[in-house]
Amino acid sequence: METTTTATESNRPIKSEPLVELRNLSLEFHSRNKIAKAVNRICLEVYHGETLAILGESGSGKSATALAIMGLLPKPGGVISEGEIFFEGKELVRLSETERRKLYGEKLSIIFQDPLSALNPVLTVGYQIGEALRKRKSLSKNETKKRVIELMKLVRIPDAENRYKQYPYQFSGGMQQRVMIALALAMNPKLLIADEPTTALDVTVQAQIMRLLKELQERNQMGLILISHDLGVVAENADRVAVMYAGHIVEIGEVETVFKNPAHPYTVGLMSSIPSARQNGDRLQSIEGLPPNLADPPTGCAFHPRCSMATDLCRKKEPLLEEIAPGRKSACHFAKEVLNHESI
Amino acid sequence: MASYLIRRFFYSLFVIWGAITIIFAVLRIIPGDPAAVMLGSNATPEQIHSLNESLGLNKPLFVQYGQFIVDVLRLDFGESFRLGGPALTHVLERLPFTITLAFTAILFAIIISFPLGIQAARKPNGAADRIISFVSLFGQSLPTFWVGIVLILIFSRVLGILPSAGAGSVAHLIMPAFTLCLPFIGMIVRLVRSGILEELRQGYVQTARSKGLKQNFILYIHVLRNALIPVVTVLGLLLGEFIGSAIIIEVVFSWPGIGRLLINSILYRDYAVVQAAIALIAGIYIILNLIVDILYGYIDPRIRVEES
Ligand SMILES: Nc1ncnc2c1ncn2[C@@H]1O[C@H](COP(=O)(O)OP(=O)(O)OP(=O)(O)O)[C@@H](O)[C@H]1O
Ligand SMILES: [Mg+2]
């Protein structure tokens, strides 16, 4: 796996500014009689050309984080209750609607898990890919069409000239996701968020789509936030990984080191859920129990009810995400112990 | 698409057959000897008997029915004894009036309810939404004939700006068409509103927002077309109701359409005209539904291509 673009302290100029940076970002979903704290004071940053994976089980707040960065949280209901998002130094949370619209496409773009529902069923794919170019860049009809066909060829949709006029349901799942990628890349964004881009696809197609995404990322030196709950996809494609649990980032670091030597019991549990990922003979019980109710989270560490190492401290005091090694952070009171216990 | 339409066509023939069979049966169940009604109260039994003979009304029912079906296939509904001449000719003469009234009413309904529905969906449960839903519900609960009479009182008697009866000008059309569309507005407003709200939750709206498009553009270009798919279907189903309600409206406003002709013909037991009118209404209803189906395919590409 290549790690040349990795944002470790050693090979990154100290002053290099992150492309996007979340500072203590908290999100809530308000419904009639309860508030679900979907994301709690998370911090992360993504650099130019880098792939940051967000890994976590269902409901851990991955999509909510993605939507918050995009400013697409459901209204009403989705609220950023705390924190900031900086994009190229510009704060996004308090940006006006009009200002934010200017960022879409050219700076920020997103692709979703289910390409069929992300595409409008009654508009042709050609129109949908070219819509932003036509409406925002005021390209002429012919220019737009030319550019769209280029984009369709770029994402390797065969027979682009004819398929331009077709509708999303006439495409296979993999081709729909290619359409979605072409649509997201139409204006050359600096940051692409891919929210489980291959989860809805066949295994064989998954690999093709990931390869395409990585190739296009390299071409444009895009920052990529790759959301996934698939350890294999993360291992193969990401430079760094942030592990999320119940709205917290519990661990963040370079993929290789995090996977080889987790510094949080939750990550340890994740790794043990796929036997092939572990080379040593350590028997680790896979994670028992269920994630907590976000409307009524446990005290202390959110993971403590499921953690075999939990102590009184864990039940009382919430661990903060702290640096335990260069470029490596963990939110566990016993991070050092986990790390040592686990080293090969 | 073609095979689909052919299937629809045969289905339609079946429906028309059902409709005329029912009307054949119903007319013969209604109490009152038609010959007696036609000839008036001082007719002799002999006169009644001979008229029944000449109309074929004293033959066994199944013979009458067989003859009836053969005639209908030849588009021969018989002569109107009240008006003279072929019954179908009389009905066809009135047809343009009914169609004009029904279509104007549908047009009114669309022109009024679409903007209201869109406006209500912009801010669900906001002030505008509440007012719109209250007013349209109110309009829906008023009896049609009563609305018609009140409108006549206000606009013809008091203000004197609109004619109270008859046809012949655009002014004649306004009150009947409005009365006809009123009960449907509430339903269409709610359909449009809920359709839009439902569509706004869809993933493609999120995609459209992530393109940096303006909210209004998303609403009109992306959402509305999807939201209209179920609305058009329901409008298609409502067409029959529009024609049905038109019958009452035509009587209230003395509008010379099929409805008024039908009511009068029923009163006089003018079977031939009643049968011709019902068959024609059924035919129109079916043709309209076919048009809606085609329109539906136009709005929703998934149907257009799948069926071909
Ligand atoms: N529109 C919403 N209204 C209320 N709660 C929501 C909404 N969207 C998400 N949530 C809640 O927020 C939490 C985080 O959801 P999110 O979609 O971010 O999870 P995720 O990590 O993306 O999971 P998945 O792998 O299933 O996509 C969940 O508990 C979810 O129930
Ligand atoms: Mg998700």
What gap in Å lies between CA A232 and CA A228, rounded to an integer?
10
A50-66+96-251 maps to CATH 3.30.70.20? no
**Shortest-distance atom of ligand 1 to CA A73:** 1
Q: Where are the domains of chain A?
A: 50-66+96-251, 260-275+285-339
| Count of CB pairs separated by less than 8 Å, A with B | 75
Instruction: For B61-101, give the secondary structure using H, E and C.
Output: HHHHHHHHHHHHHCCCCCECCCCCCEHHHHHHHHHHHHHHH
pLDDT at A286: 57
Which of these ranges, A307-311, B88-92, B212-216, has the smallest mean pLDDT?
Answer: A307-311
**Statement: residue B138 has pLDDT above 50:** yes
Report DSSP letters for B21-38, one per residue.
Answer: HHHHHHHHHSSS-HHHHH
pTM of the model: 0.79
Q: Cβ contact (<8 Å) for A123 and B207?
A: no
Percentage of chain A exceeding pLDDT 90: 37
Block residue for tokens 């682009």: A160
Closest CB to A122 among B212, B213, B301: B301
Closest CB to B203 among A112, A136, A184: A112
pLDDT at A111: 93
Q: What is the ipTM for the molecules in this complex?
A: 0.85
Q: Cβ contact (<8 Å) for A167 and B301?
A: yes
Model confidence over B7-41: pLDDT tens digits? Answer: 777 887 888 888 888 888 887 777 667 677 777 77
pLDDT at A256: 92
**Statement: residue B123 has pLDDT above 50:** yes
Block residue for tokens 């390209």: A139
Residue A104 C-alpha, separation from nearest chain B C-alpha, in angstroms: 5
- Residue A27: phi and psi, rounded to 5, are -130, 145
Distance (angstroms) between ligand 1 centre and the Cα of A313 equals: 29
**Statement: residue B276 has pLDDT above 80:** yes
Closest CB to B207 among A102, A108, A119: A119
What gap in Å lies between CA A22 and CA A78, rounded to an integer?
17
Percentage of chain A exceeding pLDDT 70: 91
Say which CATH superfamily domain B93-257+283-299 falls into. MetI-like (1.10.3720.10)
- Residue A22: phi and psi, rounded to 5, are -100, 130
Task: Give chain A's mean pLDDT.
Answer: 85
Model confidence over A16-58: pLDDT tens digits? Answer: 788 999 999 999 999 888 888 889 999 999 999 999 999 988 8
Nearest to A64 by CA among A49, A51, A90, A83: A83
Q: Cβ contact (<8 Å) for B207 and A122?
A: no
Sign of CA dihedral B77, B81, B85, B91: negative
Q: Who lines ligand 1 at CB under 6 A?
A: A 29, 31, 36, 38, 56, 58-64, 74, 77, 229, 294
State both tokens at A50.
């880098």
Sheet holding A51-55, edge to edge: A108-111, A191-195, A223-228, A51-55, A240-245, A248-254, A328-330, A322-325
Q: Give contacts of A121 with chain B, Cβ < 8 Å.
A: 204, 226, 300-302
Q: Where are the domains of chain B?
A: 93-257+283-299
If one residue of A58, A230, A296 were mutated to test the ligand 1 pocket, choosing by the most ligand atoms within 8 A of its CB, it would be A58
CB B132 within 8 A of CB B138: no
From B300, which residue of chain A is nearest by alpha-carbon distance? A122
Model confidence over A83-110: pLDDT tens digits? Answer: 999 998 889 888 888 888 889 988 999 9
Q: Give contacts of A131 with chain B, Cβ < 8 Å.
A: 208, 211, 213
End-to-end CA distance of chain A, in Å? 20
pLDDT at A85: 93
**Statement: residue A285 has pLDDT above 80:** no
Model confidence over A205-222: pLDDT tens digits? Answer: 888 888 888 988 998 889
**Shortest-distance atom of ligand 1 to CA A57:** 25
- Residue B293: phi and psi, rounded to 5, are -60, -45
Nearest to B259 by CA among B133, B105, B34: B105
Q: How far is CA B257 from CA A63, B61, B78, B98, in A?
A: 60, 31, 20, 5
CB A254 within 8 A of CB A261: no
Q: Cβ contact (<8 Å) for A117 and B213?
A: no
What contacts B120, CB < 8 A, 6 or more positions away? B128, B129, B132, B133, B189, B192, B193
CB A260 within 8 A of CB A88: no
CB atoms within 5 A of ion ligand 2 belong to: A 63
